[in-house]
Structure 1
Amino acid sequence: MQGMGEAGETCPFEFNFDPATFKVGDTVSYRVTGSLDGFPFAGTLLEVHEDHVIIAGDPNDPSVRYTGTRESRPVVDHAQI
């Protein structure tokens, strides 16, 4: 997300990029496979498991939840979107 705004503008999010310290409520930058590959997305962790995380996909709709990999920038399969 760096460099996407105007000069001197900082990102409004504070991300956790350390999967070893992920906890519920953390904001993460996640990626989506397929046609959305390369676009950055931001979401809040709802659940943290040993091998995956559950990400809130829409802050206005709590039913939108994505399962992502547990890595510095979780990967969500495009089929979930």
Structure 2
Amino acid sequence: MQGMGETGEACPFEFNFDPATFKVGDTVSYRVTGSLEGFPFVGTLVEVHEDHVLIAGDPNDPEARYRGTRESRPVVEYSQV
């Protein structure tokens, strides 16, 4: 996430923004609709399907999975989080 840290500070994550190459284990930046719109979230892909992905996005709850769209920055519905 460029520009969010100190000047010259590099992002600690390496993201895959290419939905054509998504694979399990990739780190993605995803978005959430509703009141969380505009905030960047980080998650790991746990399943990749033709039309959607499943994201592990809550480090405090390893069982939590969010269904997202399959696009460069997946979109997750607010009702899932």
TM over 0.5: yes
Size of the alignment, in residue pairs?
81
What is the aligned partner in structure 2 of residue 55 from structure 1? 55
Which 5+ residue runs of structure 2 have no aligned equivalent?
A: none
Question: What root-mean-square deviation, in Å, do the aligned CA atoms of Structure 1 and Structure 2 show?
Answer: 0.7
Structure 1 residue matching 2:20: 3-state secondary structure: helix
Distance apart, 1:60 and its partner CA: 3.7
The equivalences for 1:57-76 within 5 A come to 57-76=57-76
What is the aligned partner in structure 2 of residue 44 from structure 1? 44
Per-residue deviation, residues 10-34 of structure 1 (Å, max 9, x unmatched)? 0000000000000000000000000
What is the aligned partner in structure 2 of residue 4 from structure 1? 4
How much identity, in percent, do the aligned residues show?
A: 84
Structure 2 residue matching 1:73: 3-state secondary structure: coil
Per-residue deviation, residues 3-58 of structure 1 (Å, max 9, x unmatched)? 00000000000000000000000000000000000000000000000000000021
**Structure 1 outlier segments of 4+, above 6 Å:** none
Which 5+ residue runs of structure 1 have no aligned equivalent?
A: none
Name the CA distance, whole Å, in 2 between partners of 1:46 and 1:4: 27
Name the CA distance, whole Å, in 2 between partners of 1:52 and 1:32: 14
Code of the aligned partner of 1:43: G
